[in-house]
Amino acid sequence: MQSSIVTKLLALLTIVSETRKPLTFSELVVKSGLNKSTIHRLLTICTEEKLITYDDHRKVYFVGTKIFDLVRNAYSGYDIQAVALDEMMRLHSLFEGNVTIGLPNGMEVVYLRVLESRRSMGPVQHPGMREPVHCSASGKAMMAFLPDKIIQSKIDGYTFKKYTDRTIDNADAFIEALAEVRKVGFATNDREEYEHFMGISAPIFNYVSEPIAVINIWTVDTLHSLEELTSWSGELRASAERVTRLIGGTAPDLETLRDR
């Protein structure tokens, strides 16, 4: 009996959370397939526990504050670099490159952890180091999966500082690069900030499909070609997707990013 109630309660919460608009009692009955007395009993429990909120004016039900509290507490309780470490170590064992994890910080990426390659590549990336979004694979990987309007607002007035001959130095070229990242699911940096360093990066998403971190592999052109580096992208994306699932995240529907 208890398990049946729990199953029905979860089904009801799923319907309420997935709907695009608050639902009336009658709509919940239709969508759930449950009888009115069961729905009434479940709604009583949920509203008392603040899992569902009832709007007495419009006579509709929507997600309650307790759900957001639970999600916020869950997300504040994990360390993304600890969650991602197994996948970083997996990539480190597969490829001869440095593996890093980074977070967005304004129009920069800040690196939290670096697993150095067994082959020396010089002291370029280290924990705490920051890179501009326009000339780093990590920055492009995170920017690409923001809604178009947010991207535009972020680059309005942004200075595309040129570091090498390959640095993206204008907004139109940057937006074009982000469109390619969306298409293939990962970003590249082909010696755009430093003359000999190349990288690939894939995003990690949270439960509302926002890019909150990136896993990055980088190397130098004396050891690997860009073609070889990008051939590693399948494993990189798989690792980023696993970390996304571990934290309860989902990748965004690309259609929802356009003109939002």
254 or 142, which is more confident: 142
Residue 192 is predicted with a pLDDT of 95
pLDDT of res. 3 = 53
pTM of the predicted structure, to 2 decimals: 0.74
Check whether residue 249 and residue 164 sit in a common domain: yes
Alpha-helical runs (H) found in the chain: 2-18, 25-32, 36-48, 65-76, 80-94, 137-143, 148-155, 171-184, 226-230, 233-246, 254-257
pLDDT for 242 beyond 70:
yes
42 in the same domain as 160: no
Query: What is residue 99's predicted lDDT score, i.e. its pLDDT?
Result: 95
What is the overall mean pLDDT for the chain?
89
Element (H, E) at 200: strand 197-205
Give per-residue pLDDT as tens, 124-142: 556 678 899 999 999 999 9
Mean pLDDT of 212-221: 94
In terms of domains, do 156 and 171 share one? yes
Integer Cα distance of 216 and 136 in angstroms: 10
pLDDT at 208: 86
Residue where one domain finishes, among candidates 25, 53, 74: 74
Q: Which of 59, 74, 89 is the last residue of a domain?
A: 74
Q: For residue 30, how many other CB atoms are within 10 A of its CB?
A: 10
Q: Provide the CATH number for the domain around residue 8.
A: 1.10.10.10
Q: Are residues 164 and 228 in the same domain?
A: yes
In this model, does residue 1 exceed pLDDT 70?
Answer: no
Maximum alpha-carbon separation in the chain: 71
* pLDDT for the residue 65: 85
Q: What is the pLDDT of residue 121?
A: 63
What is the per-residue pLDDT across 64-119, written as a single tens digit (0 to 9) for each? 888 877 766 665 556 888 889 999 999 999 998 999 999 999 999 999 888 988 77
Task: Note whether 230 and 177 are same-domain residues.
Answer: yes
17 is in which domain, residue-wise?
Answer: 2-74
What domain count does the chain have? 2
Tell which of 47, 74, 101 closes a domain.
74
130 and 206 housed in the same domain: yes
Lowest-confidence pick of 29-43, 45-59, 71-85, 227-241: 71-85
Same domain flag for 95 and 148:
yes
Same domain, 136 and 36: no
Same domain for 160 and 98:
yes
Domain CATH code at residue 252: 3.30.450.40
95 with 177, same domain: the answer is yes
Return the structure tokens found at 224: 């690997």
Cα 131 off chain centre by: 19
Can you name the residues that pair with 113 across neighbouring β-strands? 101
Same domain as 110, residue 13: no
Residues 104 and 218 in one domain: yes
